[in-house]
């Protein structure tokens, strides 16, 4: 991996560990968003049924909130407001 070559995880460089962890989380989130958007496009065209989870993702996007799927990927520490307010 390019990241590990450029920023090796060593005891003296603890921020490299944090950077690697955050980039892994971010890449997972991007993967989930991409697949959700592809499924949503198919549902809007009528090629697949819109599931309850997909509808929740759509409604969350419309109001600019992080849905349950995003919280599962990010973890509760990244968006504590979701738990304080309850599910959308």
Q: Indicate if the alpha-carbon torsion angle 27, 33, 36, 38 is positive or negative.
A: negative
Task: Write out the two tokens for 21.
Answer: 């962890």
Q: What is the per-residue pLDDT for 87?
A: 46
Q: What is the per-residue pLDDT for 47?
A: 93
Contacts of residue 73, defined as CB under 8 A and 6 or more positions apart, other chains included, come to 25, 28, 29, 32
Q: What is the pLDDT along the chain (88 residues), one digit of tens a residue?
A: 677 777 777 777 778 888 888 888 888 888 988 888 899 899 989 999 888 888 888 888 888 776 666 555 556 555 544 444 444 4
What's the rounded Cα separation, in Å, for the pair 5 and 46? 45
Q: What is the per-residue pLDDT for 71?
A: 53
């Amino acid at each position: 991996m390019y990241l590990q070559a450029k920023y090796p995880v060593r005891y003296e460089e603890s921020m490299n560990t944090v950077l690697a962890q955050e980039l892994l989380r971010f890449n997972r989130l991007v993967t989930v968003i991409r697949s959700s958007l592809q499924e949503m496009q198919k549902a809007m065209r009528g090629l697949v049924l819109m599931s309850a989870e997909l509808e929740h993702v759509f409604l969350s996007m419309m109001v600019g909130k992080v849905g349950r799927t995003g919280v599962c990927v990010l973890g509760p520490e990244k968006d504590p407001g979701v738990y304080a307010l309850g599910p959308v």
